[in-house]
Amino acid sequence: MPATTGWIFDQMHLFDLNKQTVLASQRVGVAPGLPRAVFKPQSLLNFRKNSFRRRSINKISARQKILYSHFGNRAFFDINLACDRRIARFYGYDLHRLPHENQEWITRYQLLFEQADVLLTEGPFMKNELVKMGADHNKIVVLPLGIQLTDRWKTRELDGPMNVLIAGAFKEKKGIDTALKACFRYAEQSGNVLHIHLVGDVVNATQEDLAYAAKIENLIRETPKNVRINQHGFVDRETLKKVALQSTVAVLPSQWAADRDSEGGFPVTILELMATGLPIVSTTHCDIPFAVNESNGILCNERDIDALANAINEMTLENNLHTKSIGARKTVEERFNWQNLRPLYHQAIIG
């Protein structure tokens, strides 16, 4: 899986790893301590490749076989696999971009909605989108993604230059160009020195992503004199937390992409950062308001550079940073940590 999908591994660890089998399309690398994996053969005839999932699941000996398909399109292609309980988890690409590119997916999803026992979403916005598409609301369970909490966090105080963290894959939906423009606008209007930590890079190297990355690089070349940008590239979770602890506020203005790619729910990175006590400036995109609110951050309309710049400035006023910093940590502790979410996942998936 791409480096940005660690939250799938997190969901595996909610259950007994000895009772799981992963059906994988290709072998990239197998981390220790993970479930048994069965890989699609690469050298056989196509009909053998296409039937590997069916043959693999038939070989599994278990009293009850629960099939948990990540992404709606994968769940559709898994419809013919024999199981006792069928779970389909939707994210963003599958829910919005695929039907936009090919309306045949709307018809395909109708069949999936009938066959699935449970449809999982990250938040209420995604649930409503599935209902509008024709899914039975009684089958839909809202199960947000979570994180493993650590004790490494602190409340933020403005005791020096603003340090803004911008993090995400270089994809249009992440709004990194919007975040940079908002930071530049804030620096221009306030005259203050601003430090930016930019974490991320190109993921899939598609033509669209490369063009978007070039757009970001062009913006970086136009950085105002009172702004300093530190580019970190992709980093692991622990390194991201270290960068977050050095930051004053995170600016993550997700937005709809031209091809209708979206967050679906909300970026799990928001939770990772809030757990360190970092307040969030973001947008009302998809299910982000399910995680970010006035207690832990500030929400703006998508692509509204002036509003985002004002939000950065508002964070510096009075006691905002301190209050929202405590609220960020509290939000994750109470609603988005895996320890609290574990029984909800067991109830929805195992039944």
pLDDT of residue 217: 96
Whether the predicted pLDDT of 47 surpasses 60: no
Q: Is the dihedral of CA 77, 141, 267, 113 positive or negative?
A: positive
All structural domains of the chain:
3-147+339-350 (3.40.50.2000), 162-335 (3.40.50.2000)
Tokens of 54: 């069916």
Spatial distance between the Cα atoms of 292 and 328, rounded to a whole number of angstroms: 8
Spatial distance between the Cα atoms of 205 and 3, rounded to a whole number of angstroms: 13
pLDDT of residue 136: 98
Whether the predicted pLDDT of 167 surpasses 90: yes
Spatial distance between the Cα atoms of 290 and 311, rounded to a whole number of angstroms: 19
Whether the predicted pLDDT of 27 surpasses 90: no
Query: Of 22-26, 144-148, 178-182, which gets the smallest average pLDDT?
Result: 22-26
pLDDT-derived band at 71 (thresholds 50, 70, 90) equals very high
Spatial distance between the Cα atoms of 272 and 287, rounded to a whole number of angstroms: 16
Specify the pTM: 0.92
Express as a percent the part of the chain with pLDDT over 70: 95
Query: Mean pLDDT for the chain?
Result: 92
Residues 6+ apart with CB under 8 A from 214: none
Give me the mean pLDDT over the 77-94 stretch: 94
